Structure 1
Amino acid sequence: MTLLFAACKKEKNETPTENANEEITTLKLTFTNAANAADKVVANWKDMDGAGGTNPVIDPVSLKANTTYNVTTELFDERKNPADTVTNEIEEEGAEHRVFHLFFTNPGASVADSLTNVATVTPQDKDENNLPVGLDITMATKTAFTGFLRVVVRHQPGNKDGTYAPGSTDVLTEFPLEIK
């Protein structure tokens, strides 16, 4: 009788009600000049002890003024072998994620202090609700600038509305940026 009871037990529903934040150790940006595909800039942010860790490796970004770039953002968890391409998950769960590319004079500045006069960022990819995802963007630089490019992946399940505010941060990176 006990064996029959154990065999008929209902299985627990182990599906989480909300997806957890992504584990991201590496963010790679590829800037391709829209007028000259041979003109590419690749920059990596790497933090092998996880976002917010103590030893990030960050490549500086140097771009040309008054130039339009096609920019791709790739995300990885390199603590796994082989590395987990988190970009695929962000694409699949586009309705729950938004990637922001913001400009600042000082590192660590408030999102409210982001600058709009550095470059125009236009997301090229959309989710099923026609809201931007931001893994693929165009970036039209303006005049010379020295500061920081912050790339933030926001996790916004159930409340994505195209703005920064809802949700939590999967990863926040800051690249030294020079536009000349």
Structure 2
Amino acid sequence: MLKLKNLTFVLWGTLLFLGGCTKEEQAVAPTIANESLTTVILKATNTADAADTTSCRYKFTFDSQGNVTSSDSTPLNLKANATYAVAVQLYDELQSPVFDVSAEIKERQNYHLFFFQPTPISPANLVTGLTSPYIPGTATSATGPYLNLSVARTDHDTNNPAYELGLADKFTTGEASSGNLEVVLRHQPNAKNGTYAPGSTDLDVSYKVIIK
């Protein structure tokens, strides 16, 4: 597992990422064979105006031993009182051509599930369950101000019954506000049931969100 203070990036999984650990265990570099996942992008398109697009990026730089030497992220800027179609894009930019890790997740969709956690959030809005993309146990604020963002996954896997995946999502904004959005990918082979609990964490990153 690769873990950075305050902003965490974790990737591992059978066939896609090698090895396994929990957040509390010692960090090791994420790899796909001899490659490293370097970039996580959220690309948002306003559903009322296809020309209105925005994105945020989380990127890591690795040394020759696969250790992170630096990282940087860009904020997600959204319009108030709007709805966005959002695509999660994962890449290994060390490969030529650039390797699309999102396609690997799609191929293994029956044991992966994304979660999205806006914060600060009120207790009333932190709803968990089979259809909730939010993370159980997230700290809430009784007084705010809150990040006025709600998230819904819009794609599904091929399990029977089908469960949500989260490579494609809907972000709905309210009034102007700011906060953070945590994005977590859970790896749940032979255990996926629509909830957060089964399995372990493949990916955990956080973005600044500004709604105005």
Distance 1:52 1:126 in 2: 34
**Unpaired segments of 5 or more residues in structure 2?**
1-12, 18-30, 32-36, 122-134, 141-145
1:44 pairs with 2:57: yes
Q: Percent identity?
A: 36
* DSSP 3-state at the match of 1:88: helix
Counterpart for residue 68 of structure 1: 83
Q: CA RMSD in A?
A: 2.6
Counterpart for residue 138 of structure 2: 113
Counterpart for residue 23 of structure 2: none
Once structures 1 and 2 are overlaid, which stretch shifts more, 114-123 or 36-45? Answer: 114-123
TM-score, normalised on structure 2? 0.67
CA contact (8 A) 2:118 2:150 kept: no
**Unpaired segments of 5 or more residues in structure 1?**
1-17
Q: Once the 2 structures are TM-superposed, how far is the Cα of residue 75 of structure 1 from its aligned partner?
A: 0.6
Counterpart for residue 141 of structure 1: 173
Q: Which residue identity lines up with residue 70 of structure 2 in the other structure?
A: N
Change (3 A) 1:49 1:164: farther
CA contact (8 A) 1:102 1:114 kept: no
Q: Which residue identity lines up with residue 82 of structure 1 in the other structure?
A: P
Count how many residue pairs are aligned between Structure 1 and Structure 2: 160
**Larger helix fraction of residues:** 1
Counterpart for residue 19 of structure 1: 14
CA contact (8 A) 2:156 2:165 kept: yes
Give the greater-gyration-radius structure (CA).
1
1:94 pairs with 2:109: yes
Change (3 A) 1:164 1:54: farther
